[in-house]
Amino acid sequence: MVRAAARSTLGLSVVSRPEHPKLSGLQALRFYGGIELEERSDVLVVTRVDPGSSAHDAKIAVGDVLESLFVKKNLERAEQNNARWRPVHTSQDVEARLASAYSDVDFFAGARFRSHAGEHKDLVLFDLADPPGVF
């Protein structure tokens, strides 16, 4: 690889692209929302909010607690009871809920947080599942 007239060596592994690439639950929240969460005593607490992210725009702050997720997809690809706000307490809950946030063309989920003052804040996570958006 040559950049700015300097030559660099880059390791490369050639593998096939997965048919339906998906991020794990917490990775999806980080990638699509710009937030990092930490599991503490059966709650998920925001530990970082990226400046300029959709979480930042939704006024999500460090210390807010993720209370529930909303995922709605067509009923051919998702369970009927997923189309409502469902509580989350652990990273496994997030993983299970966000598994149906993916379709062949997009990623969509809602995340509801509670601040220290008890105020609820909703964050919408959406992206098209094109190669740049998936990786």
**Highest mean pLDDT pick, 54-63, 72-81, 100-109:** 54-63
66: confidence class by pLDDT, cuts 50, 70, 90: very high
More confident of the two residues 77 and 51: 51
Residue 14 domain-assigned (yes or no): no
Residue 13 domain-assigned (yes or no): no
Mean pLDDT of 123-133: 72
Residue 1 domain-assigned (yes or no): no
Residue 3 domain-assigned (yes or no): no
Residue 47: per-residue pLDDT: 96
Say if residues 131 and 84 touch (Cβ distance below 8 Å): no
Residue 37 domain-assigned (yes or no): yes
Chain segment 83-119, per-residue pLDDT in tens: 678 899 999 999 988 887 777 677 788 999 999 999 9
- The 10 Å CB-count burial string (b at 16+, else e) for 70-83 is bbebeeeebeeebe
Q: Is the pTM of this model over 0.95?
A: no
Cα–Cα distance between 76 and 48 in angstroms, integer? 35
Q: Which domain holds residue 75?
A: 19-134
Residue 65 domain-assigned (yes or no): yes
Cα–Cα distance between 45 and 38 in angstroms, integer? 5
The CATH number covering residue 110 comes to 2.30.42.10
The tokens describing 17, both together, are 């692209």
57: confidence class by pLDDT, cuts 50, 70, 90: very high
Q: To which residue do tokens 């059966």 refer?
A: 42
